[in-house]
Structure 1
């Protein structure tokens, strides 16, 4: 029934070319990726010898991430976040770049976070 019809390969090639460009020119890595890890606005950043602890708040939620100064071999990292009166939530493991993100509902409550990389650590204290 369709034996006499021929397809034009141009639309297929255009889609393949567009897809290939997305693979070759994907999103850049670096601090933009770290910022995208947590929603909300940054409210506190605490630096320590091996990295940074970042705390974000927005829309009744808070998010924390521990980011290594230099990505490298897997090493022990952790991040913990707690709303006042609530249970702490965290992420811990052997990572190359970041622990987290970890998000908790805070409503209008204060929040605190702690982070560590290879034995060095930081904490935000209560942020309201």
Structure 2
């Protein structure tokens, strides 16, 4: 009985440590619903794109979360205006969501000095 209890406690502790060790991956998934369709990495972070029922959601996550810095994420469906979240954040910028239907989207993201601009994607 003690062995089972010790094993259960060890498994729970390991699961807790993994959740703390990878906060960026968990954060993006926590904020956008749907399936992950693309990750666009850049020098200081990455922007993760999700799609569900014609909606596209994006979150920018820094390489080193926890320190406030300028971040931005923008998603624009072809023919529409961009939806932008910009400011000083410690863990993520976004989520921002647009209805794209079957249209292409253009994604931009920035963390500090690093940035990415996708061009038309998800066509």
TM range (shorter): 0.7 to 0.9
Q: 3-state SS of the aligned residue for 1:87?
A: coil
Q: CA deviation at 1:58?
A: 1.3
TM, length-normalised to structure 2: 0.77
Structure 2: runs of 5+ lacking an equivalent: 1-15
Pair 1:98-2:92 in alignment: yes
Report runs of 4+ in structure 1 exceeding 6 Å deviation: none
Q: Which has the larger radius of gyration?
A: 1
Maintained 8 Å contact 1:44/1:124? no
Q: Do residues 57 (structure 1) and 57 (structure 2) align? A: no
Q: Which residue of 1 aligns with 2:11?
A: none
Q: Secondary structure at the match of 1:62?
A: strand
Give the aligned CA root-mean-square deviation in angstroms.
1.4
**Structure number having the greater helix percentage:** 2
Task: Give the SS at the match of 2:26.
Answer: helix
In the TM superposition, what is the alpha-carbon distance from 1:124 to its structure 2 partner? Answer: 2.2
What does residue 84 of structure 1 align with? 78
Instruction: Pick the aligned partner of 1:40 from 23, 34, 45.
Output: 34
User: Unmatched 5+ residue regions in structure 1?
Assistant: 1-24
Q: If the length of structure 1 is used for normalisation, what is the TM-score?
A: 0.74
CA deviation map 1:38-77 (0-9, x unaligned)? 1121222111111001111110100111101111321100
